[in-house]
Amino acid sequence: MDAFRPASSLLIAGLALLASACGGGDGAAEVRVSLREWTVDPSRDEAAAGKVKLVAENQGTRPHELVVIKSDLTPDGLPLVDGKVDEDKVNISGEIEPFAAGATVEATFELSPGKYLLICNIVELVPGAPPQSHYQNGMLAAFLVIEE
């Protein structure tokens, strides 16, 4: 019986590792997204439809956010108002509100099959300088959700 214990412990540890690699026990596919001036860099560019956990890591020096938009438009073709994407004119599927440099925030969204854009939609207003649009500076990435 003692010979069985190490093998069963190894099997349990292996199953736990496999579950974490697939996104954890909640059934969500996990996608890590690095945000920095001026990029949005997902660990992969597609996921299966259903629950998708986005783990956003702010590796920049400024606050950033992550907005998930379902759209067939080109990544740089979203409608703008005052330097930012007009959120009233796009299909927002989820959002991680602005968070500080160095922080990591995660959220799980139910995503249907289709084309998505991951963007930071912050506009910084600095006195004496033009507005600094994170989206217009390149903080966007295409993301595909596929039927499984």
19 in any annotated domain: no
33 in any annotated domain: yes
6 in any annotated domain: no
User: How is 46-102 classified by DSSP, letter by letter?
Assistant: EEESEEEEEEEEE-SSS-EEEEEEE-SS-TT---EETTEE-GGGSEEEEEEEEE-TT
| pLDDT digits 0-9 by tens, 107-118 | 999 999 999 999
Q: Domain of residue 69: give its range.
A: 26-146
9 in any annotated domain: no
Split into its structural domains, the chain has a count of 1
| pLDDT digits 0-9 by tens, 34-58 | 999 999 999 999 999 999 999 999 9
Element housing 34 (H / E): strand 29-36
72 in any annotated domain: yes
18 in any annotated domain: no
Instruction: Please state, in angstroms and rounded to a whole number, the distance separating the CA atoms of residues 55 and 119.
Output: 14
Q: What is the model's pLDDT at position 10?
A: 37
10 in any annotated domain: no
| pLDDT digits 0-9 by tens, 63-103 | 999 999 999 999 889 999 988 999 999 999 999 999 999 99
Q: pLDDT-derived band of residue 25, with 50, 70 and 90 as boundaries?
A: low
Take residue 4 and report the two structure tokens written for it. 């069985």
CATH classification of the domain holding 120: 2.60.40.420
First-to-last C-alpha distance (Å) of the chain? 42
95 in any annotated domain: yes
Position 40: which residue type? V
